[in-house]
Amino acid sequence: MSDTVADFMLTRLKAWGITRIYGFPGDGISGLVAALGRDDEIEFVQTRHEESAAFMAAAHAKWTGEVGVCLATSGPGAIHLLNGLYDAKLDHQPGRCQSKILEAGRAVA
């Protein structure tokens, strides 16, 4: 099977030293979640809510000094990340958020 865009994204995240991603699966990010399932180097921690994923990523950054990464689907899922991302911003913690964004009817990263 050939590599997907999601596989290339994971390759870049690994190059940045990312070892764990917190998130809640959804249709908009199913390709990335599938790629995480095929990958042995990055641990995917599935949360019960997107907001939890963002706060867990912020806490990860605060306690480890590494970049905290959270993942959510588009629309309401992405909006639910805001409180955790704002918490990380206020504490000057490194973070990365990934969500699917629609632009004029087509998916963009």
Please give the structure tokens belonging to residue 105.
């009817």
Spatial CA neighbour of 47 closest among 75, 19, 23: 23
Asked if pLDDT for residue 105 goes beyond 70, the answer is: no
pLDDT in tens, 30-67: 888 999 999 999 999 999 999 999 999 999 988 998 88
SS3 106: strand
Length of the chain: 109
C-alpha–C-alpha distance, residues 43 and 41, integer Å: 7
Alpha helices (runs of H) in 18-81, residue ranges in sequence order = 30-38, 50-64, 76-79
| Packed helices 82-90 and 50-64: angle between N→C axes, nearest 10 degrees | 20
Residue 101 pLDDT: 47
Asked if pLDDT for residue 109 goes beyond 80, the answer is: no
Residue 99 pLDDT: 66
Q: Where are the domains of the chain?
A: 67-109
Please state the pTM of the whole predicted model.
0.82
